[in-house]
């Protein structure tokens, strides 16, 4: 299997994760992250707004989910369109090569309240992005909100299951099962 060759942005993310694991999030500086990645501080800031942002992909996921919803077939229900978004997340971001990275990332976030706060806010941004994408398909506003909220919940559960050290499988499959579990739990199954 070919070794995964990360680009500048991904090198920064990998370097940051290693340093957060080795010395803790608080004791790591942006300069150290850039040096570990063999890049400069200004390159770091071209990719990420601040140190808190480096594990959160700089907003790319919101676009992946919105594009996934936009690309769903014309006749798809709101929840089917959300399932397309979750598939897109698996193809574009949560590939099998990144699963072990996902588990390590999750452990680092779990250990730091500041990162947990950023993750929570990022989650709200993903919900807003899916809500907007559904509205652009002509889905009524409140239905868009509900489908996006439950889609975001399914995404969160799927990420936890997929990145779990004992987990396995393709993210799209895990996510579709999580969405179906969420809908069933709400009486929509």
- Residues at the site binding a second copy, with contacts judged by CB under 8 A: 117, 120-121, 124, 140, 142-143, 145-147, 149-150, 153, 157, 181-182, 185-188
Between 65 and 150, name the residue whose CB sits nearer to a second copy.
150
**Cα dihedral across residues 98, 120, 128, 157: positive or negative:** positive
Between 31 and 124, name the residue whose CB sits nearer to a second copy.
124
Between 19 and 134, name the residue whose CB sits nearer to a second copy.
134
Residues listed for the chain:
189
Rounded to a whole number of angstroms, the minimum distance from the CB of residue 139 to a second copy is 10
Alpha helices by DSSP H, 37-140: 41-47, 60-70, 78-92, 99-110, 113-136
Rounded to a whole number of angstroms, the minimum distance from the CB of residue 187 to a second copy is 6
Rounded to a whole number of angstroms, the minimum distance from the CB of residue 126 to a second copy is 12
Other C-beta atoms lying within 10 Å of the C-beta of residue 5: 7
Owner of token pair 């809500």 = 131
């Amino acid at each position: 299997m070919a070794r995964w060759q990360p680009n500048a942005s991904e090198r920064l993310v990998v370097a940051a994760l290693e340093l957060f694991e080795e010395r803790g999030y608080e004791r790591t500086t942006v300069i150290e992250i850039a040096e570990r990645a063999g890049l400069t501080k200004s390159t770091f800031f071209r990719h990420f707004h601040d140190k808190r942002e480096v594990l959160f992909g700089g907003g790319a996921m919101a676009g992946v989910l919105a594009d996934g919803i936009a690309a769903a077939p014309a006749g798809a229900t709101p929840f089917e369109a959300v399932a397309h978004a979750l598939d897109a997340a698996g193809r574009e971001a949560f590939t099998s090569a990144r699963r072990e990275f996902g588990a390590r990332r999750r452990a680092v976030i779990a250990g730091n309240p500041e990162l947990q706060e950023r993750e929570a806010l990022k989650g709200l941004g993903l919900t807003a992005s899916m809500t907007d994408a559904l509205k652009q398909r002509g889905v009524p506003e409140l239905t868009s909100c509900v489908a996006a909220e439950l889609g975001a919940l399914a995404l969160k559960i799927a990420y936890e299951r997929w990145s779990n050290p004992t987990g396995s499988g393709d993210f799209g499959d895990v996510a579709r099962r999580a969405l179906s579990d969420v809908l069933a739990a709400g009486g929509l199954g």
